[in-house]
Amino acid sequence: MQRIALYDLDRTVTRAPTFTPFLVHMAASGNPLRLLAVPLWVLAMLGYKAKFYGRKPLKQFGLRLLVGREVRNAALQSQIDAFVARQLARNIQPGARAKIAADRAAGVRLVLVTAAPEIYAEALAQALGFEACIATRHQRDGAGNLLALIDGENNYGGHKVARVEDWLAGQGLARADCHLTAYTDHASDAPILNYADTGVLVGRYAKVQRGWAQVDWSAPEQGRAAT
């Protein structure tokens, strides 16, 4: 029986979300004039909240607006690396670090499953010791540079389950031969929480339901658990 832990990123492994900070960081460290467009990004987020459009077009718009047509290439890599280093230094929940280390020591296979873009999620996963990263994918140009356009769908909700199933198949694993534990901060991830054998909501004030467990990773210890 393969033991596999599926970790969400934003507000699960990290204390705070990463996407808007990434956009602002890239604008500020690249072409600061792009910061003048931040109010447009705020308006775009309000439009998403009003359900005028979905997460995929929102993210593509933000990346094109504040980063550019290409969002990862040789020229941008140092800025991306600086963002990743900042997240690792300031934005990782101490309890998440402890749990990741404990799982790894126990032989659990670690997979980061996130709607965050592969632009920086892959580097974060590698630095934190994950075996694999299943993030939102981006289209590539002929030189292999990542573009603002998303390849397929935003890795959110039920799409996470489909991507995990594809990863398991690629590993030659049948679902019945695995014990999956999923960690995420919000009930909007119900599909992956229910797909796993054990679903765990991360956060002191997470609304527990459907038999999921709860942990608080804001301290180095795993925190209180409840069913």
Predicted confidence band at 222 (pLDDT cuts at 50, 70, 90)?
low
Write out the H or E segment, with its range, that includes residue 52: none
Predicted confidence band at 219 (pLDDT cuts at 50, 70, 90)?
confident
Q: Please name every residue paired with 167 in a beta bridge, in sequence order, or none if there are none.
A: none
Q: What is the pTM of this model?
A: 0.94
Cα pseudo-dihedral 117, 122, 125, 130, rounded to 10: 120
Closest CA to 13 of 137, 124, 108: 124
pLDDT digits (tens, 9 = 90+) for 57-86: 999 999 999 999 999 999 999 999 999 999
124-155 residues labelled b (16+ CB within 10 A) or e (exposed): bbeebebebbbbbbbeeeeeebbbbebeebbb
Q: Is the model's pLDDT at 223 over the cut of 60?
A: no
Closest CA to 116 of 108, 125, 104: 125
What mean pLDDT do residues 10-22 have? Answer: 98
Q: Is the model's pLDDT at 225 over the cut of 50?
A: no
Q: What does the pLDDT read at residue 220?
A: 79
Note whether 112 and 87 are within 8 A (CB): no
Predicted confidence band at 221 (pLDDT cuts at 50, 70, 90)?
low
What mean pLDDT do residues 128-154 have? Answer: 98
List the single range of 16-20, 108-112, 204-208 with lowest mean pLDDT. Answer: 204-208
